[in-house]
Structure 1
């Protein structure tokens, strides 16, 4: 096959499973609303990456080479959005929040990855590092999309479940505000690492 599937699967699992803006958002959502209520949001996050993969596979890479400033601008706009989400996480309190509002839904989840600089870096890296030259575009894009979707369907719910478990332990305690600020700080740190540290 013209795509190094096994190698890419290992890379994808390591990237999808490690802390980043999307996983911190999933953890915070699970913490605030509970695992079951967050599932539509989780599904949206998982499928939202497809909104990046297919355009990249079918020509966005060429646009990136011709107009790199577009992607540089998008990177910083995306980072600003994720940092704004982190600020909201920092101000959340878990004690009564599960009774006071609805969890973000499927459509809210869909926009997380298109605005996530780590997702863009991961997808571009997948196409450039694991796809052999001359591979048909449809084949390459289909493999990249399928592998990432499987990784997300397995790993994203685990982050959400972890948030739910943490909240049940700390909600209403003196630890709670420190937890929320820590989640927010990790989200910001993950964005800054992608922007300035060369991480994916």
Structure 2
């Protein structure tokens, strides 16, 4: 396995972004089990983008400004919705308040949507994965699928570690009301910042 691919993938996965922010927020507010569900959802959210890259469909975003703009606005709107929900849900980071029940399916759907509505991901995978496939590779499609699977596994493991650490810190953090208030604002501001960054992004990879 190409060590450069593994190191680059690790840097990409571990860099703070929408998925990391969501997983950490879930770990702090709902605990270890929920953070693992969020990690699974975020990982599944990369699957359609990888499939698009493998099938060559991501090229549409280079040639169709409308397709990119539509997905961009939907993604930004969803991130702003997540920010609003984070500020509104005061009980999620309050140890004295019961956390509203949320089914694993709903948590997975929410996490999948975060990555699914990011138009930069298919372009990223289209530009990223082919770099690690030799021109004379006898089975380029198999190689592409293998690299994609490794990237997804790495995403799941790293996000799960983020979430588990957040859940471990949960009791220490949630026992301080002032800290929890600032955490809500921090996560909300993070979603807003990511939404605005996406909103003003261009279709270039």
What TM-score, normalized by structure 2, do the two folds share?
A: 0.78
Q: 1:61 to 1:122 in 2, by over 3 A?
A: closer
1:80 is matched with 77
Match of 1:179 among 160, 170, 183: 183
Match of 2:49 among 49, 52, 74: 52
1:189 is matched with 193
CA distance in 1, matches of 2:61, 2:136: 19
* Matched residues, number: 197
What TM-score, normalized by structure 1, do the two folds share?
A: 0.80
Match of 1:125 among 127, 140, 154: 127
2:158 is matched with 155
CA distance in 1, matches of 2:100, 2:195: 29
Q: State the superposition RMSD in angstroms.
A: 3.0
Task: Using the TM superposition, give the Cα deviation of residue 85 of structure 1 relative to its aligned residue in structure 2, in angstroms.
Answer: 0.9
Task: Using the TM superposition, give the Cα deviation of residue 107 of structure 1 relative to its aligned residue in structure 2, in angstroms.
Answer: 3.4
CA distance in 1, matches of 2:119, 2:29: 24
1:101 is matched with 101
CA distance in 1, matches of 2:172, 2:119: 31
Task: Using the TM superposition, give the Cα deviation of residue 108 of structure 1 relative to its aligned residue in structure 2, in angstroms.
Answer: 3.3
Q: 1:165 to 1:141 in 2, by over 3 A?
A: same
**Residue-by-residue CA offset, 1:86-122 (whole Å, 9 max, x unaligned):** 2212333312555432254333333331123453453
Moved more, 29-38 or 39-48: 39-48
Residue 164, structure 1, aligned to residue 170, structure 2: no
Asked whether the 8 Å contact 2:13–2:154 carries over to 1, the reply is: yes
